[in-house]
Amino acid sequence: MISEQSARRRVSVLGATGSVGRSTMELIAEAPDRFQVEALTAYSNVDVLADLARRFGARFVAIGDPARYRALKQALDGAPCEVAAGPEGLEAAAARDSDWLMAGIVGAAGLSATLSAVRRGALVAFANKEVLVSAGRLMMEEVARAGATLLPVDSEHNAIFQVFEEQNRGAIDRLILTASGGPFRTRPRESLAQVTPAEAVAHPNWDMGAKISVDSATMMNKGLEVIEAHYLFAMPAEKIEVLVHPQSVIHSMVAYSDGSFLAQLGAPDMRIPIAHALAWPRRLKTQSPVLDLAAVARLDFEPPDETRFPALRLAREALAAGPWAPPVMSAANEEAVAAFLQGRIGFLDVTEVVERVVSATAPADPDSIEAVVALDGEARRRASEAIDRLTPATS
Distance CA 148, CA 255 (A): 27
Contact status: 154 vs Mg ion (CB under 5 A):
yes
Strand order in the sheet with 149-152: 82-85, 60-63, 35-42, 9-14, 100-103, 123-126, 149-152
Q: Which residues contact 281 (CB under 8 A, 6 or more apart)?
A: none
Kindly tell me which of 18 and 326 has the beta carbon lying closer to ligand NAD. 18
In angstroms, give the least distance from the CB of 49 to ligand NAD.
8
Judged by CB under 6 A, does residue 59 bind ligand NAD?
no
Q: For the window 259-288, what string marks contact with ligand NAD as x by the rule CB under 6 A?
A: -----------x------------------
State the burial class of residue 74 (Cβ atoms within 10 Å of its Cβ: 0-12, 13-18, 19+): exposed
DSSP-derived 3-state class of residue 2: coil
Amino acid at 316: R
- What's the min distance (Å) between Cβ of 6 and ligand NAD? 31
Could you tell me which of 112, 95, 138 has the C-alpha nearest to residue 231? 138
Q: Is residue 183 close enough to count as binding ligand NAD by CB under 6 A?
A: no
Which one of ligand NAD, Mg ion, none is in contact with 58 (Cβ closer than 5 to 8 A by kind)?
none
Cβ distance 301 to 245 under 8 Å? yes
Exposure string (b/e) for 116-136, b if CB count within 10 Å is 16 or more?
Answer: bbbebebbbbbbbbbbbbbbb
Q: With CB under 6 A as the contact rule, which of the stretches 25-33, 202-210, 243-251, 293-301 interacts with ligand NAD? A: 202-210
Would you give the binding string for Mg ion spanning residues 290-329, x where CB under 5 A is met? ----------------------------------------
- Contact between 225 and ligand NAD per CB under 6 A: no
Tell me the C-alpha distance between 346 and 165, whole Å. 43
Residue with Cβ nearer Mg ion (155 or 361) = 155
Select from 25-33, 91-99, 150-158, 253-261 the region that touches Mg ion (CB under 5 A).
150-158
Residue 209 interacts with which of Mg ion, ligand NAD, none, CB < 5 to 8 Å by class = ligand NAD
Q: Which does 17 bind (CB under 5 to 8 A by kind): Mg ion, ligand NAD, none?
A: ligand NAD
Binding site for ligand NAD (CB under 6 A): 15-21, 42-43, 64, 90, 104-106, 109, 127-130, 154, 206, 208-209, 211-212, 270
